[in-house]
Structure 1
């Protein structure tokens, strides 16, 4: 039985808190590791260590900081398979899929760090009378990153690039449900000076102590809407910054002119991959009535190819949900829909086997009175609504308290233009996911706040200061 530790100022040590959390393999229900819940004292020591390391880290040139980040990224890449295995053990993601995500996260870390090489940390503007204003963007200081359980490696690396490259130091608190891969990430971070990266393990109490700490200048949080509101309240009270990426209930709008079979196959991937445990999973599907029958038939057939099993088996496509609590949420949403008149076209029942499995499920006859259409399900469930027009699909897609992302399938240029007006952070057209390193966005509504990505991430990680220099006396 492995006992996990915090990393504070370059030293591994056990948390001081008395409560202990177990990490459970969701495929076997076996306990893998344990760790103590870090106390406010542990958090304070981690923040102090980050503060002590920050000035020296910021004093390095941007190129040197980027070089150190690249060295860490190269080490991570060499251990991508191992990290994918750990993610599989702690939250169920199939190893093959997990490895591709880890490799993508490494590439993203490098790309985000490289953007520091061209970011305008300093700029100068000369006025008509010879006066000069210098704009200098300083690192914030100590920052915090709190990550969710569904993509432990991806979410840590996605947040750290701009924060570190801009000269900040960081305290990371991973989800208590999936800390194994994050601990290993930090074991591999020898290229970074002690104290630049710190790790505290714990639950919501640990996260609260971190977000409430007076010396933390920014909190980058990914998680539930309720927890995000608490983070926003704490940082707002201290007048410090936060970046919040919260829940999603992403819609898919499918136009009449697309290939229903090919589109159904793409939607199945977007709804079921990682067992539906993605903030941008396709959770509401609006399909035009002219192709609805063919689409649903193909979606049901494709769902049947998502083989359930342990993610260490190469034949597995659909691993378990992270734990019993998450599976209960999925089951409750499906049962609520059926009770209110929805039809289960495939799936919809917990299999008789150990582990927290749930099959790829397709529902039809759903409406907005059902939990599966209004609350984040975060499981392998595809609820389908038939609409009479593309415009109706857009209208219903927009009618949600969430605003993270949406996907549209259409060949009509006017419909593409209309889709761009959806009140969400990201709109994908004819392809789920995607976007280059220059992409930036901000979640809408209950899905979060704070722009991120590309230059926006560096704007959030720095504080601008203006230095005004008067014109020389001879010029006045």
Structure 2
């Protein structure tokens, strides 16, 4: 059985704690590895290493920093298939799907770092009387990066590009459910010439996460996870007056207008609801469909759901892997059962399969309303609850009625409706293409879905601290000045 270790100052180190945790494959329900539960001593060693490396790293020319990060990205790209297999073993994501996101993460690491080449780390403003103001963007210092289990590799890489390119050093704490694939990323650093201590890895659960968040020498916390934990992280960062970037849960709505193709749209919505077994923060968890197209849309959505075959993610035919744990499956099924007791109808799925592994079928529910957990709390599973509405305005109103505000998707061909949709309280609004956009995208979650803008230049704004340096001519005393006239006398 594999035993995982921490990566600190360029060296693999055993934990200073005495407790280890089992890593369970959610497909086979068998233990595949052991890893440290985490300790304050582990975290402190990693932070001390990051602090020691930061001054040196920040003095490395930007172009050289970017080149080293890009070299790491290239190594990850070469090993994407292998990393995807590790990810499949620890959280169930089908290998083919996982590889595509790992390759996307490597590309994001590279493009995020490359943004530093054009980012204005220094701006100069000339003022009257020969004075000048320089606006310098300096690295924040040490960043603690806490990553969830649903996209452990892609989310780690997308966070690290701007942080490292801006001159910060980092301590990464992956989820205790997905330490294996993340650890492999750090093994690939053997082929890259990053200075020791620039990137560090500490494994464990809250016994590693809490000391990292509360460490006095961690200047920025970049946290992705649940709302409940995010509130605790934000409160601790506020107590220490440290910066935090929080991307938390979502209960994303999707609106299907009367003028779209209901069958094509249903297949697009199926992907938004069931991809990664519904374990995506921006998964479509509330579907509002216009009554004029509702019957055809629901029939097509049911048909699409039934094509999402469950199985081992190593098989190419598998579309739906298992949920990450039995605990997560219980949450998903509890939401379905709550909906049924309150009058919902199961159109397909909705039952725990009698098989090994934490599987749950793609499920479509109708006759749902806002009294049900499946419409108000984050489900994080392959559940598509559908509400029939009489107008686009009703759909907008109900879509906006949520404590969350991560993202929203609207399918419409009516220009006025598209304009109205842009006012939805969300960090991202996708129109006619879920997960659309490119690396230039900048967003900040709304409401309880988080705080702190990221993407493109906003990620560098978050990773740096602006300093203004005003330079004026040195003062001179009139009594000591020598004029041309006195000099000739």
Sort the TM-score into its range (normalised by shorter chain): over 0.9
| Counterparts of 1:473 and 1:246, CA distance in 2 | 53
After TM superposition, list the pairs within 5 Å mapping 1:297-336 onto structure 2. Answer: 297-336=299-338
Q: 1:441-476: per-residue Cα shift (whole Å, max 9, x none)?
A: 0001110000001111001101111110114669x9
Q: For 1:243, which of 245, 262, 278 is the aligned residue?
A: 245
How many pairs does the alignment contain? 475
Measure how far apart 1:19 and its partner are.
2.0
Whether 2:227 is the aligned partner of 1:225: answer yes
Measure how far apart 1:364 and its partner are.
0.0
1:81 paired residue number = 81
| Counterparts of 1:37 and 1:367, CA distance in 2 | 41
1:370 paired residue number = 372
1:211 paired residue number = 213
CA contact (8 A) 1:9 1:194 kept: yes
Q: 1:201-253: per-residue Cα shift (whole Å, max 9, x none)?
A: 01012101000000000000000001101110111111010000000000000
After TM superposition, list the pairs within 5 Å mapping 1:425-440 onto structure 2. Answer: 425-440=427-442
| Counterparts of 1:320 and 1:38, CA distance in 2 | 27
Measure how far apart 1:281 and its partner are.
0.3
| Counterparts of 2:160 and 2:199, CA distance in 1 | 9
After TM superposition, list the pairs within 5 Å mapping 1:254-403 onto structure 2. Answer: 254-403=256-405
1:120 paired residue number = 120
After TM superposition, list the pairs within 5 Å mapping 1:393-432 onto structure 2. Answer: 393-432=395-434
After TM superposition, list the pairs within 5 Å mapping 1:51-66 onto structure 2. Answer: 51-66=51-66
Whether 2:181 is the aligned partner of 1:181: answer yes
Counterpart secondary structure, 1:434: coil
| Counterparts of 1:242 and 1:86, CA distance in 2 | 30
2:108 paired residue number = 108
Please, which runs of 5 or more residues in structure 2 have no aligned partner? 479-489
Please, which runs of 5 or more residues in structure 1 have no aligned partner? none
After TM superposition, list the pairs within 5 Å mapping 1:163-182 onto structure 2. Answer: 163-182=163-182
Using the size of structure 1 for normalisation, the TM-score is: 0.99
Whether 2:160 is the aligned partner of 1:139: answer no
| Counterparts of 1:25 and 1:154, CA distance in 2 | 20
Measure how far apart 1:113 and its partner are.
0.6
Counterpart secondary structure, 1:134: strand
| Counterparts of 1:128 and 1:394, CA distance in 2 | 52
| Counterparts of 2:17 and 2:405, CA distance in 1 | 37
Q: 1:430-450: per-residue Cα shift (whole Å, max 9, x none)?
A: 000021111100001110000
Whether 2:39 is the aligned partner of 1:39: answer yes
Q: For the pair shown, which has the larger CA radius of gyration, 1 or 2?
A: 2
Counterpart secondary structure, 1:441: coil
Superposed CA RMSD in Å reads 1.0
Counterpart secondary structure, 1:188: helix
1:11 paired residue number = 11
CA contact (8 A) 1:135 1:465 kept: yes
Counterpart secondary structure, 1:129: helix
Counterpart secondary structure, 1:148: coil
CA contact (8 A) 1:130 1:472 kept: no
CA contact (8 A) 1:132 1:471 kept: no
| Counterparts of 1:205 and 1:448, CA distance in 2 | 23
| Counterparts of 2:417 and 2:66, CA distance in 1 | 42
Report runs of 4+ in structure 1 exceeding 2 Å deviation.
Answer: 471-474
Counterpart secondary structure, 1:376: coil
Q: Which deviates more from structure 2 when the two are superposed, residues 15-24 or residues 342-351? A: 15-24
Whether 2:130 is the aligned partner of 1:130: answer yes
